[in-house]
Amino acid sequence: SGCGTFTFLSSAIAAVSGLLMGYELGLISGALLQMSSILALSCKEQEVIVSSLLFGALFASLTGGFLIDRFGRRLAIIIASSLLVLGSLILLPYESYEILIVGRIAIGISISLSSIATCVYIAEIAPQHRRGLLVSLNELMIVIGILFAYISNYAFASVSHGWKYMFGLVIPLGALQAIAMYFLPPSPRFLVMKNNDEAARRVLERLRETSDATEELTVIKSSLKDEHQYSFLDLFRSKNNMRARMLVGLTLVFFVQTTGQPNILFYASTVLKSVGFQSNEAASLASTGVGVVKVVSTVPATFFVDRVGSKTFLCIGSSVMAVSLVTMGLVNRNIHVNFTKVCRSQYPEDFFLQRPGNFTVTDGSLKDLSASMASTERLSFDVQSPDVARTGELNRTALAGGKSATGSLMESGEVPVVLKWLSLASLLVYVAAFSIGLGPMSWLVLSEIFPGGIRGRAMALTSSMNWGINLLISLTFLTVTELIGLSWVCFIYAIMSLASLAFVIVFIPETKGCSLEQISMELAKQKYVRTPLCGVSQRREKLVPVELAKREKEQLY
């Protein structure tokens, strides 16, 4: 069975969900710089705005699996696109902290539901020898969406209320996807689950561009015959190794989050400001470089995964991530800018009302201190404030009253050019490594290792783990970074990257070239409770085709 034009077109339209998801995830990086100034947001309020999307995503992941398995993957994508349009419309008319949270929660529900449904839909319509390419197409669209978001951040960085334009750009595309999905066929495996074999056969013939899809339909029916009887609790039982599969899936998404990439995504502009890219425009432009690297790195992973294998890409990605994170940590130990002071200085009043003790006048040289303060002003961290005279008055008031200011910024002055660009380079390598490894490959593995009858619910459970950890990390990132420093955060992420490498080597199976039915059959064998799952790749060619052929004959005769 080939990968026909209609199959590719259907996958591409479904993968627009990835584009929308990536855009919404990357958008907040630059929008936050404007919103924090306009709405005078504290660090904690900024964390809440970033994390509100994750609250919605976590809620959808807990309930979306049942919707996907009961009403279908295609309908779930249509609902998700419609909800994204609604959430974006909520954000446009108002400039309110509370409205921002409500709109972001609605968008979070949308992207979580679509991320589950899209992976499952594409995996189920794709032929086995092109499944890696087509499922990874969704990840490619995600990183393209992130790039578009960073470009949008830069384009509207100096536009009054530019964040509203950023949020509004996705509305037409979301509406178009919802309409286009209505005209695409349901997943043939979902139709078989609903005992609509004739419709499933017609869909398969259209997808494969063949006049007879009986053989593939028979294989699907054989595989789903027993799988349809799974209940949600079976995911935690030893039956067909479901508990082992679920633990593999949950651990994989745990490493996706704890290696730190989501925080780099959400706080990219803020991180880059902390290492010397001082204006909003400069930080947003550097963030755009991050988006370009994500796209360029994901392309080879997408097109070569069916030949190289997902496990190989996971190993390469985790290894390079560890090296780049160690480099980033060492560089940042020599950059003395306090990270959260950047986020707190989005509006001038907060810049000069920090906790006492960071900086104290001890030498009595008011002239020298005034010169130091003037140097700090030239760092232009507060690019959003148009009232220079008022800022100067605040400076003089702080000095006259003996109040402490942000000493870490004063002590550091300009960040050395070499360190600034070395930090950016290590960040880009880290992003590239994630984009060929844990980024696309983890979701490909998750779409393959669970049986079709319960795939939607299993994906929803792993997705809830993913969003839950993402929420916890993003909600505390600025706070933790202030406590231990950005360099130690990088070192912790490096340790987690090495742990993920060990996990992948021992437990993740290589599934290239296998159909979903073949993978499910191999993983169901009791011996994989005692043997690492990586043994699948070594015995796939010998064991799977023979056993599958036997089951096909039983169905035919």
Selection from 66-70, 151-155, 519-523 with the highest mean pLDDT? 151-155
Residue 282 has pLDDT above 60, yes or no: yes
Residue 97 binned pLDDT confidence (cut-offs 50, 70, 90): confident
Main-chain phi, psi angles of 40, to 5 degrees: 50, 55
Q: What average pLDDT score do residues 191-196 get?
A: 86
259 vs 324: CA distance, rounded Å:
12
Q: Which residue has the higher pLDDT, 372 or 469?
A: 469
Does 430 score more than 60 pLDDT?
yes
Has residue 370 got a pLDDT over 50? Answer: no
Residue scoring higher pLDDT (33 or 368): 33
How confident is the model over 117-135, as a mean pLDDT?
Answer: 84
Higher pLDDT, 12 or 417: 12
Distances (CA, A) of 105 to 53, 55, 98, 102, 117: 5, 6, 11, 5, 19
Average pLDDT over residues 482-502: 89
- Most trustworthy range by pLDDT among 45-54, 107-116, 203-212, 365-374: 107-116
Interhelix angle 214-227/516-523, nearest 10 degrees: 30
The enclosing H or E element of 513 equals none
Give the chain's radius of gyration (CA, Å).
Answer: 25
Q: How many CB atoms lie within 10 A of CB 332?
A: 25
Q: What is the rounded distance in angstroms from the CA atom of residue 37 to the CA atom of residue 46?
A: 11
Residues in the chain: 557
Q: If 0-12 CB within 10 Å is exposed, 13-18 middle and 19+ buried, where does residue 210 land? A: middle
Residue 480 above 70 pLDDT? Answer: yes
Tell whether the model's pLDDT for residue 222 goes beyond 50.
Answer: yes
pLDDT at position 183 over 90: yes
- Predicted confidence at residue 544, as pLDDT, reads 42
For residue 36, what pLDDT is reported? Answer: 77
Cα separation, 275 vs 334, in Å, equals 10
Whether the pLDDT of residue 367 is over 80: the answer is no
Residue 153 CA to residue 280 CA, distance in Å, equals 9
The number of angstroms, rounded, from the C-alpha of 272 to the middle of its chain's C-alpha atoms is: 19
pLDDT tier at 527, thresholds 50, 70, 90: low
Q: Pick from 401, 354, 418: which is nearest to 381 by CA?
A: 354
Mean pLDDT value across residues 36-42? 78
**How sure is the predictor about 273, in pLDDT bands with cuts at 50, 70 and 90?**
low
What are the tens digits of pLDDT across the range 334-349?
766 555 455 554 433 3
Task: Tell me the mean pLDDT in the region 251-279.
Answer: 74
pLDDT value of position 275: 61
Sign of CA dihedral 43, 46, 115, 8: negative
Look at residue 494 in the predicted model and tell me its pLDDT: 93
What mean pLDDT is predicted for residues 319-336?
Answer: 85
Contact 33, 284 (CB under 8 A): yes
Instruction: Give the integer Cα–Cα distance in Å for 285 and 144.
Output: 16
Name the percent of the chain lying above pLDDT 90. 17
Q: What letter would DSSP give residue 195?
A: T
| C-alpha span between 247 and 462 (Å, rounded) | 9
485 sits in which H/E element: none
- In this predicted structure, which of 38-47, 87-96, 347-356, 547-556 has the lowest mean pLDDT? 347-356
C-beta separation of 177 from 17 below 8 A? yes
Average pLDDT over the chain reads 75
Judged against a pLDDT cut of 90, whether residue 180 lies above it is answered with yes
Q: Which pLDDT does position 285 carry in this prediction?
A: 67
- b/e sequence 279-303, b meaning 16+ C-beta within 10 Å: bbbbbbbbbbbbbbbbbebbeebbe
pLDDT at 283 over 70: no
If one compares 430 and 395, the residue with the highest pLDDT of the two is 430
Residue type, 210: T
Highest-confidence range of 109-123, 201-215, 358-372, 465-479, by mean pLDDT? 109-123
Residue 17 has pLDDT above 60, yes or no: yes
Residue 122, pLDDT above cutoff 60: yes
pLDDT digits (tens, 9 = 90+) for 127-136: 877 777 888 7
Q: Is the pLDDT of residue 56 over 70?
A: yes
Pick from 409, 376, 404, 410: nearest CA to 391: 376
> pLDDT tens digits, residue range 149-178?
888 888 887 888 888 888 899 999 999 999
DSSP 363: S
Amino acid, res. 468 = G
pTM of structure = 0.67
Q: Of 331, 457, 447, 336, which is closest to residue 70 (Cα–Cα)? A: 457
- The predicted structure's pLDDT at residue 31: 82
> Given pLDDT bands bounded at 50, 70 and 90, which one contains residue 386?
very low
CA distance 517 to 226: 12
pLDDT of residue 316: 93
Q: Which residue has the higher pLDDT, 255 or 215?
A: 255
For residue 526, give both structure tokens: 């009791």
